[in-house]
Chain A
Amino acid sequence: MAILDYLLRKRKKSAAVAKERLQIILAREHIDRSGPDYLPELKKDILKVVEKYVAIDYDKIQVTIENDGNCEILELNISLPDSSTVPLTKVRKA
């Protein structure tokens, strides 16, 4: 119904939402890409372990490798959801 679409025109423009989402997706993928080939696999393995205890999303895990002079530093950053104190069994059932 074009007439309805016209009258109830959505306030938040979807193109702006698309752009925001893409900025986040691409930034994440660039980090994965800039590191060694095993980074995405490493992240998946870490996710498997963490998931045993807390339900989190893949993109909540950030692994970066930085070259600090003559040694490489692997930095692991996991942001837990607010409900992380809830035991996993309950998270899953919910």
Chain B
Amino acid sequence: MAKVIVVTSGKGGVGKTTTSASVATGLAKRGYKTVVIDFDVGLRNLDLVMGCERRVVYDFVNVIHGEASLKQALIRDKRLANLDILPASQTRDKEALVKEGVERVLNELRKTHDYIVCDSPAGIETGAVMALYFADEAIVVTNPEVSSVRDSDRILGILSAKSKRALDGDEPIKEHLLITRYDPNRVSAGEMLSIDDIIELLGIPLAGVIPESTSVLQASNSGVPIIHDENSISGLAYQDLVERLLGEEIPIRFITPVKKGLFKRLFGT
């Protein structure tokens, strides 16, 4: 049975697209036929993070409107043969995604793929609701910061009230907390919400913690999902996340502070 996983957050810029790209890549690496869909109509950037922007011809909205077939619109990943990307449209019409159309495309993909990863736009309006509506599981991306936690809580409210599963009275969407841009040094200095604080506030199970790392920007600069980078702690933390999504129980890594030298403590980084 194919699974639809939405990557959502409410707040913008917290790491949804970075996470979607790496989770989809990780699932494909583990042998699952995976497709990752960009729901961010008008602000397409998943293709950039995946490094396939020059091969975009048709997009999600074209498929919904019947202007292209799914086969024509899907872009095969250049590294993994069992990974496809469905780019978002650059249209300014935010209402271009209609529920019936989205459902038809998802149902078609369910027949051919094991995992369908949906990269949600920011916000709690139509676009974000569309991305989560058909989900079986949700990765709630949260930064250790007041507004991000507040917005994650709002998204949790929408998952449990406005999703198809909620409205149909089916088994609820399985929720996973993913804390990203985590800085253990700042947490130990009392300057940043801790993992336990966030779990306590949001009350959903933790699936991963991705540390803040400069390698994430480097990866997006070159269009290679960070999970490919075995030398990056963020990349390794994404590998762990994928294992946990697949049911593996492994401890959270890279969450203890790294001691700074006296020089750095006095003069900053």
Q: Which residues of A are in contact with B by a Cβ distance under 8 Å?
A: 2-3, 6, 13-16, 18-19, 21-23, 25-26, 29, 33
| Residues of chain B within 8 A of A25, CB atoms compared | 146, 150
Given A22-B146, A22-B201, A29-B153, A13:B191 Cβ within 8 A: yes
Complex CA gap A14/B191 in Å reads: 5
- Residue B247 at the A interface, CB < 8 A? no
Summed over the interface, the residue pairs from A and B with CB atoms below 8 Å come to a total of 47
Instruction: Give the number of chain B interface residues (Cβ < 8 Å).
Output: 21
Task: Give the interface segment out of B72-80, B133-141, B261-269.
Answer: B261-269
| Residues of chain A within 8 A of B245, CB atoms compared | none
| Residues of chain B within 8 A of A33, CB atoms compared | 157, 161
| Residues of chain A within 8 A of B150, CB atoms compared | 22, 25-26, 29
| Residues of chain A within 8 A of B194, CB atoms compared | 15
Complex CA gap A4/B190 in Å reads: 17
Given A26-B153, A29-B154, A33-B157, A19:B193 Cβ within 8 A: yes
Complex CA gap A63/B190 in Å reads: 35
Complex CA gap A13/B190 in Å reads: 5
User: Chain B 150-189 against A: per-residue CB contact (8 Å), 1 yes, 0 no?
Assistant: 1001100100010000000000000000000000000101
| Residues of chain B within 8 A of A21, CB atoms compared | 146
Inter-subunit contact A18/B146 (CB<8 Å): yes
| Residues of chain A within 8 A of B268, CB atoms compared | 2
